[in-house]
Structure 1
């Protein structure tokens, strides 16, 4: 039976409205250890309801755990999820120059098992949060983080879904049939020099061979790092082939929200 607002007692309607007005995004910075090394996480959720909701891990670009990553966690919180911006480098390390960022990224990528341990540790902390349904977990990542979440799916982690934004689609891990249980979405730029068309094609072939449920969306003419509003600044400051694209960013986000509604 369809319920109309007219059927709700006035006192209840006023109470619900007041609660909605008072609800806001809550945030918490947490410290956790991976193999004895300190890591920093940032959890965001909306206190409009006390019900458990899906949790989403947010993995940073090659710059490290930064404000952009935290902003994405808060955006997810406003959409009804509890999100945790994770720290894949440890000690809250972040780079202010591409050479330092590349060094951090290479070090992290040099040991996939250690990366898996770090990711699983962060995932466990998110699952333990009082607002999270531990059986409904997804992950999304940007640039380096996009590659991370795809590799976690390749390694068979128990995730409902992963979303990669302008992440590398190639990997030293080649998934085989049955390895991947998470559903996958990958958003990439058609003009991304870091993720060329051959890499996109190779990813499609790999996912097909692995019998994975996946989707790849390429935005024509769009460059690397199109989700990050600071990409234009990086392009100018460091002469990097990157660029923010508001239209592509909005389309990718809307697609992600539909994806999460579907898998959860």
Structure 2
């Protein structure tokens, strides 16, 4: 398995860049009224996992599934809030536990240690994703034939990783994630939406160019959107404070957050037609 060496120098810095928690008064916070939420546990490779699902009402009518891959910090409230938002839109949402036991971390060192294997050996990320996906089979409300994946920072990179390896996904969305150039797409059938900050110093112009070249040569359908004045982690309201704390170039951008969420909504509506 090819190791993506160019990610190694960035791992510690990127761990800083994925913010720890969403602010409780975030403009993205939604009421849970009418939304069913559950922790779902399962075992994979001898480890226990605890992902989080959200869907509107108790109806068992199948609805399209959106799987969410969280930031480097694990399955925080931020990812769960995004799941609730997607449930309000009528989707069956699952925020995926990548570290086991619903674990979250508080330091860049911990985040780097836990996330590095998923970059170095992409099949590791696929296996964890597939274990969570298999758990969906137990929910009649989840349409197992209509599944998309979205992700933030680390999760955005892994969403693109899944699109390259999971041929039956309906689509993938990356929010301010690295582009994982070097993993050849398994097919060209999974459309992509990449939401990138123009001023994101963690995603270089060279990486963007290499990604576009790879997608074009593989005939992958993708939409790449740059959001003006947006730094890394622009969708998370907690990122500004974290950027100040660690002296990193990350910050929340309300306009880019709202615009990228609306772009995602249109993308999901299109792929689930």
TM-score bucket (shorter structure) = 0.7 to 0.9
Which residue is 1:159 aligned to? Answer: 169
1:57-206 equivalence runs, <5 A: 57-175=67-185, 179-206=187-214
Judge conservation of contact 2:36–2:58 (CA < 8 Å) in 1: no
Structure 1 segments of 4+ aligned residues over 4 angstroms from their partners: none
Structure 1 alignment gaps of length 5 or more: 1-22
SS in 1 for 2:116: helix
- Equivalents in 2 of 1:61, 1:72: separation in Å? 12
Distance 1:259 1:41 in 2: 24
SS in structure 2 opposite 1:162? strand
- Equivalent in the alignment of 1:220: 228
Partner of 2:13: none
Superimposed CA distance per residue, residues 11-57 of structure 1 (whole angstroms, 9 cap, x where no aligned partner): xxxxxxxxxxxx70010001112211111100000017542110110
Matched, 1:243 2:251: yes
C-alpha distance in 2 between matches for 1:54 and 1:128: 15
Q: Assess if the C-alpha contact under 8 Å between 1:153 and 1:180 holds in 2.
A: no
Aligned to 1:207: 215
How far has the Cα of 1:216 moved from its partner? Answer: 0.5
Q: Could you tell me the TM-score, scaled by structure 1's length?
A: 0.87
Classify the secondary structure of the residue corresponding to 2:256: helix
TM-score where L is the length of structure 2? 0.84
Q: Which has the higher contact order (CA 8 A, sep 6+)?
A: 2
> Where do 5+ consecutive residues of structure 2 fail to align?
1-32
Q: 1:226 to 1:142 in 2, by over 3 A?
A: same
Q: How many residues align?
A: 241
Stretch deviating more after TM superposition (86-95 or 61-70):
86-95
